[in-house]
Amino acid sequence: MTDSATPSAAGDRPVPLVEFHDVTVAYGRRPVLWNVDLVIDAPCLFGIIGPNGAGKSTLLKAALGLVPLVGGRVRFAGEPLARARHTIGYVPQRESVDWDFPVSAFDVVLMGTYGRLGWFRRPGPAERASARDCLARVGLADVADRQIGRLSGGQQQRVFLARALAQEAAIYLLDEPMAGVDARSQEQIFDVLASLRAAGRLVVVVHHDLRTAAEWFDRVALIDMRLVAAGPTATVLTPDNLRRTYSGQVELLREVGLAVAERGRTS
Amino acid sequence: MSGGLPCSAALVAAASGLSASPGATVIGMAVPGVPYNTLVVACGVAAVGCAAGVVGSLALLRKRPLVGDAAAHATLAGVAGAFLLTGRRDLVSLLTGALVAALVGLGALVLVRRVTRTRDDAATAIVIGGGFGLGIALVSGITARGIPGGGGLEHFLLGHAAALTADDARLLMAVSAAAIALVVLALKEFTLVAFDASFAAATGWPVVLLDQALVTLVAVMVVVGLPAAGAVLVTALIVIPPVAARQWTDRVGTLVALAGGCGAAAALAGVIVTSTRPGLPTGPVIVLAAACFCLVSVVASPRRGWLGRTLRNAAERRAWAAGLLLDTCLRASERGDGTFTVADVTDGRTARAAWRMLEHEGLVERLHGRTADGSVPRDAWRLSGRGLDRARQRRRRAADWAAAFDRAPAAARERFSLELPECAIATDADATRAT
């Protein structure tokens, strides 16, 4: 499991791909994340699961420096964010942008290449080819020139995913990529994520749907302001852990319990 | 830099065309038959109009169109302050004062928002009111006290393009060209931040710095727009051309170019109209011209325009009504001997309009001759061969849809949302798909 992780300069112990150390975020006096300690060693499909308002998205934003930490630190393969940015791909929530903006799907995907282009340089043939390729990988080659507002919700989400692919990153952070997305797009997105894992990338997904979480992710972290549990999906999604994360949502828990049990039998 | 902006001699000369000097090439060009002063004013003002549209496009995309208004209303105080401090009244000194005041106004905007936690629009109103009040008080004070050389500062309120000298025009052109060059240089960066600031920040772009650069560019354009449109109207040059341009394109590059062209065209139109109609103020006419472009665009642009959208909606509704009526006709003809009356299938005005469409398309036909029982009804219709094919095809598709919805509602909805059912009129269906 740890063979593909980058070896540290100090010794033979591999450096974790992502390391949250006592991460604390607060809005005013209200803590959103409190002393979250989370280590992701190796490439896999990693789900961050928790109820609404649990701080899942905030955890990604904190990792990317989009919200300030009041305490703790985040390291990517042992490096601070400033030196690791080019290795991180990001898919924000779909609601975070104005889809009436005058750009095509292709233009948006091209933005994924801006990071390595640097100041004032325009995308050239190589970047354009890469953007076309990424659009094709999410199944949107035929709507490349369409204004983004004329895409369906699932297509818009896949455009965001294609933009992250164009970043050619080692670590992908996705914020609710399955929210409000039709089943077909969900499958397509999941296939792309699985192919990234197969290519040795780490894919961290903030996810709200417990039912699909059980079948999609290799490892998960349960979060409700604090880290409740983290590790292989089957050992983490236990009734006890879920009860501690989702206090009160009993019916939901029962269904998920069944789904997990079923997965345990089949695998 | 000789010759102040509010110079009544220049105004009179420009208005009457007396200063026309054939062959003059002070600004590097001469157009036969056009008074020299008009040409000077036209070049300077057109450059400013173009650059204001270009910079304004980015402000609009970043959803901060009114930031320029806060800056603009602060400029008057800067103009008055510069005059009081230096005693000079050449354009460079006064506009430098205006720029300082504009930037102070924008700083105040940030401060009000942060310190008082006031919302954007209220904070803008506070800065506009405060800055403008101060400016009016200073200018009125200078005029009332009869400070020598202080007359005419109030021209910065509404603009006074006719008084521009060749040097002034060159200054405006140089600043405008620099602003346009900066936008073109950093269009990629500005677009990225405007579309998705959090992605830009996550990928390491200095969002705050780029925003500050944009706001400063807006302030600069507001200041060089003062001679043309004045503190009150200059925001219109920043906001209106981009809104007009947005109606015609879905590309950022085209938007910027069109907005620049629209701004320049409005400025030229304003100068030309007012040079031939003495007494009309240039600034307001420029803004009116831009507003006309905007109005035409908002109404008549094919895709986003009100007219096009209304017509498309009506066509879609007609196509729906005709298709549904065709379904009704099929059901009615299956109930009896294959014939039906108009009253059997239509009910209300929409249905009768749809009926005329079916008739026009030859999907229904009047029955000639006798029915099975030998009588000849006065109002008997049936589906034509083509109508029958079309109606059965619709029925098959409806069944397919229903089955797909039963299997996977979300996926089915996604697949069908962009398509109307087989429409009675093909062009309507095409129009629907094109949107």
Query: Which domains, ranges and CATH numbers included, belong to chain A?
Result: 18-261 (3.40.50.300)
Does A184 touch chain B if contact means CB atoms closer than 8 Å?
A: yes
Interface of B with A (CB under 8 A): 61, 63, 185-186, 188-189, 191-192, 194-196, 198-199, 201-205, 246, 249-252, 255, 408, 410-411, 413-414, 417-418, 435
Residue B197 neighbours by CB under 8 Å, 6+ apart: B207
State mean pLDDT over B370-379.
63
Q: Which residues on chain A are in Cβ contact (under 8 Å) with B204?
A: 82, 85-86, 115
State the residue for tokens 């094709």: A136
pLDDT score recorded for residue B379: 78
Q: Which has the closest alpha carbon to A145: A101, A181, A106, A175?
A: A106
pLDDT score recorded for residue A265: 59
Q: Given an 8 Å threshold on Cβ–Cβ distance, is B199 in contact with A111?
A: yes
Is it the case that residue B28 has pLDDT exceeding 50?
Answer: yes
Q: Which has the closest alpha carbon to A17: A78, A81, A85, A58?
A: A78
Closest CB to B188 among A92, A98, A114: A114
Is it the case that residue A64 has pLDDT exceeding 60?
Answer: yes
Instruction: Please tell me which residue, B169 or B402, carries the higher pLDDT value.
Output: B169
pLDDT class of A8 with cuts at 50, 70, 90: very low
pLDDT score recorded for residue A43: 94
Give Cα separations from B263 to A42, A48, B50, B59, B159 (angstroms): 56, 50, 5, 15, 16
A89 beta partners: A172
- Nearest Cα of chain A lies from the Cα of B264 at a distance, in angstroms, of 22
Q: Given an 8 Å threshold on Cβ–Cβ distance, is A85 in contact with B408?
A: no
State mean pLDDT over A249-265.
61
Q: Given an 8 Å threshold on Cβ–Cβ distance, is A119 in contact with B189?
A: yes
Q: Name the residue of chain B whose CA is nearest to A180's CA.
A: B410
Parallel, antiparallel, or unpaired for β A219-224 and A226-232? antiparallel
Q: pLDDT tens across B213-235, in order?
A: 999 999 999 999 999 999 999 99
Domain B307-434 class?
Answer: mainly alpha
If phi over 0 gives left and psi between -120 and 50 gives alpha, with beta otherwise, what is residue A265? alpha
Is it the case that residue A115 has pLDDT exceeding 50?
Answer: yes
pLDDT score recorded for residue B404: 79
Question: Could you give the residue range(s) of every CATH 1.10.10 domain in chain B?
Answer: 307-434
Instruction: Please tell me which residue, B412 or B187, carries the higher pLDDT value.
Output: B187
Q: Considering the entire predicted model, what is its pTM?
A: 0.83
Is it the case that residue B430 has pLDDT exceeding 50?
Answer: no
Contact of A15 with A8, CB cutoff 8 Å? yes
Share of chain B above pLDDT 90, in %: 52
Is it the case that residue A25 has pLDDT exceeding 90?
Answer: yes
Q: Which has the closest alpha carbon to B163: B82, B78, B72, B271?
A: B271
pLDDT class of A149 with cuts at 50, 70, 90: very high
**Comparing B74-88, B91-105, B292-306, B337-351, which segment has the lowest mean pLDDT?**
B337-351
Does A68 touch chain B if contact means CB atoms closer than 8 Å?
A: no
State mean pLDDT over B285-309.
94
Instruction: Please tell me which residue, A136 or B29, carries the higher pLDDT value.
Output: A136
Residue type for position B39:
L
Q: Given an 8 Å threshold on Cβ–Cβ distance, is A111 in contact with B205?
A: no
pLDDT score recorded for residue A190: 94
Rounded Cα distance between B195 and B151, Å, is 46
Give Cα separations from B75 to A20, B141, B156, B219, B231 (angstroms): 49, 16, 9, 9, 7
Is it the case that residue A101 has pLDDT exceeding 60?
Answer: yes
State mean pLDDT over B34-62.
92
CATH no., domain B8-301? 1.10.3470.10
Does A158 touch chain B if contact means CB atoms closer than 8 Å?
A: no
Question: Could you give the residue range(s) of every CATH 1.10.3470.10 domain in chain B?
Answer: 8-301
Q: pLDDT tens across B86-145, in order?
A: 988 889 999 999 999 999 999 999 999 888 888 888 999 999 999 999 999 999 999 888
Q: Name the residue of chain B whose CA is nearest to A101's CA.
A: B195
